[in-house]
Chain A
Amino acid sequence: MTTDKCTNVTEKCADTKENCDNMVDISISKDVLVIGAGSFGLEAAGKIAAQGYSVSVIGVKTACARQSGCTSKMLETGKVNIMQDVAIDSLAGVTGDFRATLIKNAGNGAEYSEKVEKVFGAIVVAPQYSYSTLNKKYGLTLNDKVVSQSQFEAMIADPESQKKILNGVNGNGSTVAFLTGFAQEGDPTSTSRVLTSALAVQNMENCNAYIYAGNVKVGAKGLERLFTQGRHAGVVCFKPSQMPTIEQNLNDGVNTVKITIKDPVVRTDVELTPDYVVVEEAVVVGQQNLDIASTLRIDTDLYGFLPSNNVHRFPAKSNRDGIFVVNNSLDAANAALKLKELIGNGIKRVAANKAKVDEDRCVICLTCYRSCPHGAIFWQNGAAAISPAACQGCGICASECPMDAIQLGDFTDDSLRTSIKDAVVSAKDNQKDGQPLIVAFCCKNSALEACEAATKFGHEMPQGFRMVKVPCAGKVDVEFIMKAFVEGADGVMVAACHEGNCKAERGNIYAKWRVNEIQKRLEKMGLEKNRLIFTTIASNMAKEFAGKVNAFAAAIK
């Protein structure tokens, strides 16, 4: 039977036979590793197990995880195995086939430690951050009345201390003041903690909660609702423009705190002397989480938190396919969802030729392994190998390989060389006298769209301007830039995504490095340095794109 369509059509693969032949089935292990047995780790584990996958949870169970009750429920499913005092020692392999070495009694001062190797299809990290109380920033000393958010959470969870709050000083309830968002920029997680505790207080008989909020964020799902719920219950929320005046009196057995704010409307002071003051906390990354990130080869954000930010990435995903990071309930749900897409029934159909290593050329120098932002490369039988499931087709590896041993299916070196040549030839045909011939390498995730829109909206650009499409600026080899000049370009522009916005995490940075390096060499080759520029742009910046091209043209005229 001859047909244009693949005989094996799946939902995603309604493609031509030729393209479909380039698909491969990959088996994905249905076992999942969850690192971190805190409440979010266990929540994720429960959701994943409910989808029918076996989950191993490693780490130390926290107090709130233990009392959340989810543990016993999960254990009943038989799908979740919680291993206390086990840590991850090393990780090899790629998505679908991660080989983790787990170490028992790690760093516990225990007499022996035991290592086991296990295969997992996917990994979920639920970082367990520690907290440092910011009482000093409020000029407060912690004691039984002035407590940290964590301490207060433990108090309302403990029946004894709960009773104390309920009774108050003279048997008729307590007033609790929460201080948040003055000592640091608030984040949704800490806002949610404050709102939850305040609501719990307000729901206790005769108790009142007051929130003093500085810079707080409610931009997370469910937070707005929690806020309204609190307000309806009677939680009072002040949002003064600056930190309240706080006077703590600890003289002669006295133990009071007076909080004063200026009401901007009625211009009077509003004073409160609460029974308890709850102070916000800063999250501390901790070496343990940094170690986990480096063992898993996933990026952290600027402050060291997992995962790194990337607008192109679905929440809870890390820079490595198959590794998720869960920092809250929503992440737990998202991770479970994406994990199901990844693992499915254990077989995944993926494009085979996103990037491929020519084993005969490869000298196993590990350059590609070290530069792939998605951890998609491993080695076997004396050559590098790329997992078609993990590879995102950015081409950074291909540009870095000293042996030209890696080719991208959609952007082979030969096809790019042809595109460059064609671009120059067609530009020459259209070029107006005195106008420079410009070749712009445009990342398909940003500059390409900006460029196409610029043309569509009729923004004027020089006639001698041509674009060469690349999968990511990281695929712009030194060789290609030079080729454009050799073919006759007067100027070459490399247009990438904005910093911190690259779909391939650092393709834009690689491109910038290469441009900087070539710029240094250009003068020795007899060309002015300004004939090569690197620029960043977003896909919706059509006008700016045209502006950049025109400015460049004017500069090299």
Chain B
Amino acid sequence: MIVAERKPFDEIRNMVSNYKKVLTVGCGTCVAVCLAGGSKEVETLNAELNLAFKKDGIEFGAETLERQCDMEFLAELDNKVDQYDCLLSMACGAGIQFLAERFPNKPVLPAVNTSFIGVNLDVGWYEEKCRACGQCVLAMTGGVCPVTMCAKSLFNGPCGGTNKTSCEIHTDQPCAWFKIYERLSGQGRLAQIMTVSPPNDWSNQKPRKVIQPGYEERIKAMHS
């Protein structure tokens, strides 16, 4: 799924402060699953905004669509957007752009930062797994993505920085190629690691993680 995080409230507040009637549009799929932009988050954000703009008299409407990345669902807003002068989308970047395409005459603002393609580790806790590189090498790497997990996105590793199971960038960051080594040898196909894959041009990145506000405590308790 696509994982997103809500933008800091101040940023959202600044974005909408020049409008009179704002429609907050949630998305009922990915961002709902990762607790960033579903119906509940729409209501919560609107409550916060209502409090913040009480004196300014800005009105906030709420709609949550099945998905914002399908025109048919966006069309459900056709009869509603006219009354608003701005749309605040809580979908991922793809959904926000599609919403803006559907209503090109309305300013469309993002209420979330789209983070990554990832998996659910626990309620409110997500980890990046794939960078959508378009040339999946998981068959060679024992099902561990080197593009996402290796800080240098090496298709052939490990590099000289591998440090007793960790990556040289940080001891908390496991070395992707160590994981690949472990997985392949566990399956008795370690020889595979010697196959050379043509390298790709990736910049240094490490997997990003998101823990939604309010879930830190729970995660600490459950996973320490």
Chain A interface (Cβ < 8 Å from any Cβ of B): 89-90, 101, 115, 117, 364, 366, 369-370, 379, 382
Contacts and interface: CB of A to CB of B under 8 A. Distances in A.
B72 A117 contact: no
6 contacts: A89-B79, A90-B79, A101-B78, A101-B79, A369-B72, A382-B28
B169 to A, nearest CB: 39
Contact of A366 (B72, B78, B79, B82): B72
Nearest to A365: B70
Shortest 9 CB-CB contacts between residues of A and residues of B: A115-B79, A366-B72, A101-B79, A90-B78, A366-B70, A364-B66, A90-B75, A369-B72, A382-B66
A382 B66 CA distance: 7
A370 B79 CA distance: 22
B223 to A, nearest CB: 30
Contacts of A369: 72
A91 to B, nearest CB: 11
Interface of B: 28, 66, 70, 72, 75, 78-79, 82
Contacts, number: 18
- Residue among A89, A117, A364, A370 with the most chain B CB within 10 A? A364
Contacts of A89: 78-79
Contacts of B75: 90
A117 B79 contact: yes
A364 to B, nearest CB: 6
A272 B148 CA distance: 86
Nearest to B72: A366
Contacts of A364: 66
Contacts of A370: 72
Given A90-B78, A90-B79, A382-B66, 15 more contacts: A89-B78, A89-B79, A90-B75, A101-B78, A101-B79, A115-B79, A115-B82, A117-B79, A364-B66, A366-B70, A366-B72, A369-B72, A370-B72, A379-B66, A382-B28
A90 B76 CA distance: 10
B192 to A, nearest CB: 24
Contacts of A382: 28, 66
Nearest to A370: B72
Contacts of A366: 70, 72
A364 B72 CA distance: 11
A111 to B, nearest CB: 14
A101 B72 CA distance: 15
B13 to A, nearest CB: 32
B94 to A, nearest CB: 16
A62 to B, nearest CB: 29
Contacts of A90: 75, 78-79
A274 to B, nearest CB: 54
A364 B70 CA distance: 11
Contacts of B78: 89-90, 101
A115 B70 CA distance: 24
Contacts of A379: 66
A489 to B, nearest CB: 32
Contacts of B66: 364, 379, 382
Contacts of B72: 366, 369-370
A379 B72 CA distance: 10
Nearest to B73: A366
B122 to A, nearest CB: 23
Nearest to B82: A115
Which one of A101, A366, A370, A379 has the highest number of Cβ atoms from chain B below 10 Å of its Cβ?
A366
A85 B70 CA distance: 31
B77 to A, nearest CB: 11
A101 B78 CA distance: 10
Contacts of B28: 382
A325 B82 CA distance: 31
A174 B70 CA distance: 63
A89 B80 CA distance: 13
A364 B65 CA distance: 12
B41 to A, nearest CB: 18
A101 B28 CA distance: 25
A366 B75 CA distance: 13
B83 to A, nearest CB: 11
A20 to B, nearest CB: 36
A117 B82 CA distance: 15
